[in-house]
């Protein structure tokens, strides 16, 4: 088998073979045993589950499978953990001399010659960087091949208790099986009996891989360790709609701000955020606005509508709808019961996770009153009460408990959640506000059989008056989509905390807003007047869309408005007759709608529904949206919101902006910066400039 | 004295549902599978994960083993396919992570390299294109060219060409490094 060109000793095949043999490590005996056991178990499962597999319907295993897949994703995602922390390091490295060095080596993506990588020389790093990097051994421990993180390997694992466990494995196998169709030849009449039974259930056995594969193959494969496990909740951009065909637009308000922070940490890290991380409504709602507050005796919030020319399109108008929540007198706020549910899994060890979280809570503690109560539940491999309900006045007790938290172990989010809710229920008294604050890096759905069951559980608890807010820390395995889902189901806020100043904003400045709901299930419905509006488009709120009939259905959940919160929604509308119209009239449709004399001068009609906290029946507020008089100029607040909407669309590469770009967005934001007492808008400007340089 | 049953005998028994036969077969081949996985991936951690994937999936695959190929050839093929799978999934992940995924990947590579510092051949092999690497991994694992051809679904001539191409590239890499 030696090749003819054995001119060079080193590259003689035998020499190579010998070299390779020397280089190949022996398998780790423990790993070997585990693998063999795993194979054996799967073998047994396969034997045992064959008759079942035929009977199981197509649908049933899916929920379980999906749940387990998700679990496995997060499990395997733990590898990402070391990688993740590195992300922060990478971000820093770009800016550092060593980073440049790394950058020059990195672009090939593939393995390079042994570069003096950042991890190999932690001692040479400047102090702050060394802080943000866990020791290499810690990373290795976190890798999924550590036995306890492999759900399929242990017989006592709770995942393996039902027959369904076989299906996970089979799903994987099916997926792999597709890769080897050569082994699926079906002509062999001597095949053992079980195989013939297998082939039967799949009508297309000749084409599809075998029986079990037939019904599981549709499920995507387990995702094995990848470089990153961040997932983001987002839907397709809201499309342009034609007012004559679909005059009604319905959505739920959204006071989450997580997207802005994710965008910020991306841009500061030197890369543009992925488009799916951009949720424009969350960007807009991140900023405090000086909207008119409701008068006493009015509804708990007040809508302000302004219509002005679209900055990025001369032929269209922006309809800016702002809801400002009332700010109850802080002096007579009810006592608060806060249960901090803190993720202390191994992945939380990074400087921007648990340590930042501790600092954040310390800030918040200072703002609480002596009669408020706090409790801390930590969850990792198992959940436990780290601090039983304690008056906020006992600062030293609370701080000691907080300091005692350490990261380690894997995550059991649901166990922790159950304990936290139980504690909150215990603490609750009439007239008090109870809230669970879940702080996590997003990796919290290990150990539950089904994510939708978790959502249901939280939604159920919501009915008891205990709300859930989710605070995201760190990047990399942040499961943004799950965070969103949980906070939305728990009526809380989802915020992403990447810096101490963000912690201050979320936890301290807006303590009241996040903690005191003033209106529940706030839904917005706009009916456009087809005589005035040809086309419209809601900017953002893709994940918050509601069906038209959901508006009046009080059983359909929607967003909460907290004390002092404001919510902004922006529509871009194209007036009838505008040259900017993108669609044509239909030739065979009825004549274009006639202006209804009674509703002359109305662009549309705004309906709002909300529930008073604790009520089951919603209230309705209606107000027409008047046509603008002449070329209206936006107020500062609306103009700034429009600038941020423009920025979000630039990040999403939206097709509706035409030639309008970062220069224009920055100019608009600069002139509408206003007072900006906390510097949030200045920060936005900086980010826009950075994004511009990254986009060029 | 009884003779050790052949791979093929064990495989047939296993595919008929004999758990003991399956265990014996896998135990016999485990170390080789792991070695091949290491050559295919070039990193211990990756190899361990890949081997585990293979072990987990093997029972289902065995059900479709018809004895047309030698067991070792069949196992090679299972391993190579599983490796392809992993690469593809990882590629998807990297793509999904957009630009900054690159940083993770290069960093991961740096970490792995660190763990294997000094092992030139392993590194060099990882820099080969996938098809050349797979071919070389098989051939270095004492598969014949005919066997490698069968596993990879290409002709023997292609295998020979790939082997010499892989060697050419390795040599060039070596030279490049020596010159550098």
pLDDT tens-place string over residues A51-82: 333 333 333 333 444 444 444 444 333 344 44
Q: How far, in Å, are A73, A166, A452 from residue A220 at the CA level?
A: 12, 16, 18
Query: Contacts of residue B171 in chain A, CB cutoff 8 Å?
Result: 8, 10-11
* Homologous superfamily of domain range A332-511: von Willebrand factor, type A domain (3.40.50.410)
Give the bridge partners for A222, in sequence order: none
User: In angstroms, rounded to a whole number, what is the distance separating the alpha carbons of residues A494 and A515?
Assistant: 12
Question: CA-CA distance, A629 to A275, in Å (whole number)?
Answer: 36
Mutate: best of B29, B52, B87, partner A, most A CBs <10 A:
B52
Prediction pTM value: 0.47
Nearest Cβ partner for A38 among B56, B123, B142: B56
CA angle (A550, A554, A559) in 5-degree steps: 75
Q: Residue A20 is nearest to which of B39, B117, B160, comparing CB atoms?
A: B39
- Burial environment of residue A162 by CB neighbours within 10 A (0 to 12, 13 to 18, 19 or more): exposed
Compute CA B7 distance to the chain's CA centroid, rounded to the nearest angstrom. Answer: 20
Least confident among A179-188, A226-235, B157-166: A179-188
Q: Share the mean pLDDT of chain B.
A: 76
Distance of alpha carbon A158 from the chain centroid: 27
| Interface size, chain A vs chain B, as Cβ–Cβ contacts under 8 Å | 280
Tokens standing for residue A534 = 């040809």
Q: Please, are residues A475 and A271 in contact by the beta-carbon 8 Å criterion?
A: no
Closest of A580, A525, A535, A570 to residue A241, by C-alpha: A535
**Residues contacting residue A305 through CB under 8 Å, at least 6 positions apart:** A319, A320, A321, A322, A606, A623, A625, A626
Q: Is A145 on the interface with B (CB under 8 A)?
A: yes
Q: CB neighbours of B161 closer than 8 A, spacing ≥ 6?
A: none
Interface test with A, best of B27, B53, B60, B122 (most A CBs within 10 A): B60
Residues A384-417: tens digit of each pLDDT: 788 888 888 888 888 888 888 876 655 555 677 7
Say what the pLDDT of residue B2 is: 53
Residue A145 predicted with pLDDT over 60: no
How many CA within 13 A on the CB side of residue A84? 32
B178 touching A (Cβ < 8 Å): no
pLDDT of residue A628: 78
Tokens of A186: 């079906």
CA-angle at A34, arms to B5 and B148, nearest 5°: 55
CATH superfamily, domain at A241-328+517-582+594-695: Gamma-adaptin ear (GAE) domain (2.60.40.1230)
Residues of chain B contacting A479 with CB distance shorter than 8 Å: none
ipTM: 0.72
Average pLDDT over residues A498-522: 74
pLDDT tens for B39-60 read: 888 777 788 888 888 888 888 8
Rg (CA), chain A: 29
Contact A20 B74 (CB under 8 A): no
Is the pLDDT at A558 greater than 80? The verdict is: yes
Instruction: Look at A271 and B99 and tell me if their CB atoms are within 8 Å.
Output: yes
What is the residue extent of each domain of chain A? 138-222, 241-328+517-582+594-695, 332-511
Nearest to B107 among A83, A113, A174 (CB): A83
């Amino acid at each position: 088998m030696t090749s003819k060109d054995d001119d060079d000793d080193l590259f003689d095949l035998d020499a190579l073979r010998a070299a390779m043999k020397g280089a190949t490590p022996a398998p780790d005996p423990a790993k070997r045993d585990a693998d063999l056991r795993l194979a054996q178990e799967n073998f047994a499962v396969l034997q045992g589950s064959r008759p079942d597999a035929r009977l199981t319907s197509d649908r049933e295993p899916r929920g379980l499978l999906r749940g387990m897949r998700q679990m496995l994703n997060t499990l395997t995602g733990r590898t990402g953990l070391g990688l993740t922390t590195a992300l922060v390091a990478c971000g820093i490295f770009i800016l550092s001399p060593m980073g440049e060095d790394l950058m020059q080596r990195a672009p090939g993506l593939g393995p390079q010659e042994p570069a003096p990588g950042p991890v190999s020389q932690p001692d040479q790093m400047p102090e702050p960087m060394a802080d943000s990097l866990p020791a290499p051994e810690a990373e290795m421990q976190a890798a999924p091949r550590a036995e306890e993180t492999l759900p399929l390997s242990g017989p006592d694992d709770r995942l393996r208790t039902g027959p369904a466990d076989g299906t996970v494995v089979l799903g994987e196998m099916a997926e792999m099986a597709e890769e080897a169709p050569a082994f699926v030849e079906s002509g062999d009449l001597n095949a053992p009996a079980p195989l013939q039974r297998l082939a039967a259930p799949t009508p297309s056995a000749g084409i599809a891989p075998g029986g079990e594969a037939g019904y599981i193959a549709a499920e995507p494969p387990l995702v094995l360790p990848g470089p990153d496990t961040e997932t983001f909740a987002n839907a397709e951009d809201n499309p342009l709609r034609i007012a004559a065909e679909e005059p009604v637009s319905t959505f739920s308000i959204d006071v989450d701000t997580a997207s802005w922070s994710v965008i910020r940490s991306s841009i500061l890290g030197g890369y543009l955020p992925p488009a799916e991380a951009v949720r424009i409504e969350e960007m807009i709602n991140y900023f405090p606005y000086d909207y008119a507050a409701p008068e006493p005796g009015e509804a708990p919030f007040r809508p302000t509508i302004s219509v002005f020319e679209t900055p990025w399109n001369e032929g269209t108008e922006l309809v800016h709808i702002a809801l400002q929540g009332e700010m109850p007198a802080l002096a007579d706020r009810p006592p608060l019961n806060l249960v901090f549910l803190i993720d202390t899994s191994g992945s939380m060890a990074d400087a921007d996770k648990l340590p930042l979280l501790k600092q954040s809570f310390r800030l918040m503690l200072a703002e609480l009153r002596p009669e408020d109560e706090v409790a801390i539940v930590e969850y990792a491999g198992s959940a436990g009460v780290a601090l039983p309900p304690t008056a906020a006045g006992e600062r030293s007790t609370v701080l000691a408990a907080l300091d005692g938290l350490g990261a380690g172990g894997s995550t059991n989010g649901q166990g922790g959640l159950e304990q936290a809710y139980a504690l909150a229920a215990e603490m609750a008294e009439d007239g008090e506000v109870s809230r669970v604050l879940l702080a996590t890096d997003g990796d919290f759905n290990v150990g539950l059989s089904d994510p939708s069951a978790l959502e249901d559980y939280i939604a159920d608890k919501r009915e008891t008056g205990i709300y859930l807010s989710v605070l995201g820390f760190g990047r990399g395995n942040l499961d943004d989509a799950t965070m969103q889902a949980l906070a939305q189901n728990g009526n809380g806020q989802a915020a992403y905390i990447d810096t101490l100043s963000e912690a201050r904003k979320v936890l301290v400045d807006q303590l009241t807003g996040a903690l005191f709901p003033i209106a529940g299930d706030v839904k917005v419905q706009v009916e456009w007047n087809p005589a005035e509006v040809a086309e419209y488009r809601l900017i953002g709120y893709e994940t918050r869309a509601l069906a038209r009939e959901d508006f009046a259905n009080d059983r359909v959940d929607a967003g909460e408005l907290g004390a002092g919160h404001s919510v902004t929604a922006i529509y871009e509308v194209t007036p009838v007759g505008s040259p900017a119209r993108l669609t044509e009239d239909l030739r065979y449709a009825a004549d274009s709608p006639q202006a209804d004399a009674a509703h002359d001068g109305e662009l549309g009609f705004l309906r709002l529904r909300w529930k008073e906290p604790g009520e089951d029946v919603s209230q309705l507020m209606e107000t027409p949206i008047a046509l603008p008089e002449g070329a209206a100029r936006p107020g500062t607040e609306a103009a700034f919101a429009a600038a941020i909407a423009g920025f979000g669309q630039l990040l999403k590469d939206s097709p509706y902006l035409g030639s309008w770009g970062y220069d224009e967005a920055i100019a608009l934001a600069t002139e509408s910066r206003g007072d900006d007492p906390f510097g949030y808008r200045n920060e936005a400007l900086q980010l826009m400039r950075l994004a511009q340089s990254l986009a060029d | 004295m009884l003779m050790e049953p052949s791979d093929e005998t064990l495989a047939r028994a296993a595919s008929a549902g004999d758990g003991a036969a399956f265990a014996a077969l896998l135990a016999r081949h485990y170390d080789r599978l792991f070695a091949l996985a290491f050559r295919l991936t070039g990193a211990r951690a990756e190899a361990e994960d890949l081997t585990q994937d293979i072990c987990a999936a093997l029972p289902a695959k065995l059900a479709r083993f018809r004895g047309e190929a030698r067991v070792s050839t069949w196992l090679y093929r299972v391993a190579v396919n599983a490796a392809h799978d992993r690469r593809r999934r990882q590629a998807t992940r990297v793509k999904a992570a957009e630009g900054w995924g690159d940083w993770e990947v290069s960093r991961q590579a740096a970490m792995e390299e660190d763990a294997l510092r000094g092992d030139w051949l392993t590194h060099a092999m990882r820099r080969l294109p996938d098809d050349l690497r797979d071919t070389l991994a098989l051939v270095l694992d004492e598969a014949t060219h005919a066997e490698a051809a069968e596993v990879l679904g290409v002709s023997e001539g292609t295998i020979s060409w790939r082997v010499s191409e892989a060697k050419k590239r390795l040599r060039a890499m070596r030279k490049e490094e020596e010159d550098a």
